[in-house]
Amino acid sequence: MPKIRSLALEVPDVSVPDAVSTIIMRNHVLYESLRLKIVNYHALAAKISHEVEELTAKTVNLNTVVVAIKRFSDNLREEKLTEVALILKDAKLSLVSGVADVTIAAKSVSTIEILEQILKLMPKLSAIPNIFQLPNSVKVLTEEDDAEIMKKELSRQYSLLLRSNMAKVSIRISPTGEKIPGIASFITDLLFRNGINLVDAFLGYEDIVMIVEEKFGPRTFQLLSEEIRGLA
């Protein structure tokens, strides 16, 4: 009778840093907490140490896990700053107050019809508005007086929401700045950490337009200006 040989299952050699990285990348909450620097490294190490041991197939020292978590967190910040520096290089920033945010819902009509009606109102407006065609609505950013004209002319036909006392912050990205992912989350996080919530945001290839409450306009401008100067 032939001898039966047992085959040992080869387990890949996984380091503690690799295991920590795998665990964090699989958990969006942990990833975001580390990126925002709002997690205690030792508490997190104690929480994931069992998973680290399962992936590495060996007993691990808690302090080793802590060090791996800290390095992962530091690398997140460095990578993000590098990306943002490339994006915001030579960017131009502008701030406009007294802006109204108008949303016209396309419930039973097409957005094309709404756009046509807005274009007919252009001769009555004091300035050319920013118009964004969305799947189920049309968004208009305009001066408050012009917004009132639009509301008077269009609210009888369409469902219209007008939010006044807004500020528009625009970033004009230089053609030489690299177009890579990450700028939207960076800006959102930057403003959130400073107590500023975006009302609306529109991202283009070379332009980013953000709407915030008017009282937050100067602070938003200041924060972004500091980032652009600091990363230049």
CA gap 123, 13 in Å, rounded: 71
Segments making up each domain of the chain, as ranges: 16-78, 92-231
Residue with tokens 């990205």: 173
CATH hierarchy code of domain 92-231: 3.30.2130.10
Residue with tokens 């756009």: 115
Residues 61, 160 contacting (CB under 8 angstroms): no
Task: Pick 174 or 156 by higher pLDDT.
Answer: 156
Q: How many CB atoms lie within 10 A of CB 122?
A: 10
Tokens of 231: 């990363």
Q: Which amino acid is at 230?
A: G
**Residues 146-163, mean pLDDT to the nearest whole number:** 93
Q: Which H helix or E strand runs over 213?
A: strand 207-213
Q: What percentage of the chain carries pLDDT values higher than 90?
A: 52
**Residues 150-168, mean pLDDT to the nearest whole number:** 93
pLDDT score, position 27: 85
pLDDT score, position 173: 81
Tens digits of per-residue pLDDT, 199-231?
A: 998 887 788 899 999 999 999 999 888 877 765
Tens digits of per-residue pLDDT, 110-138?
A: 899 999 999 999 999 999 999 999 989 99
Mean pLDDT for the chain? Answer: 84
Tens digits of per-residue pLDDT, 137-149?
A: 999 999 999 999 9
CA distances from 104 to 12, 139, 142 (A): 57, 6, 13
Instruction: Report pTM.
Output: 0.63
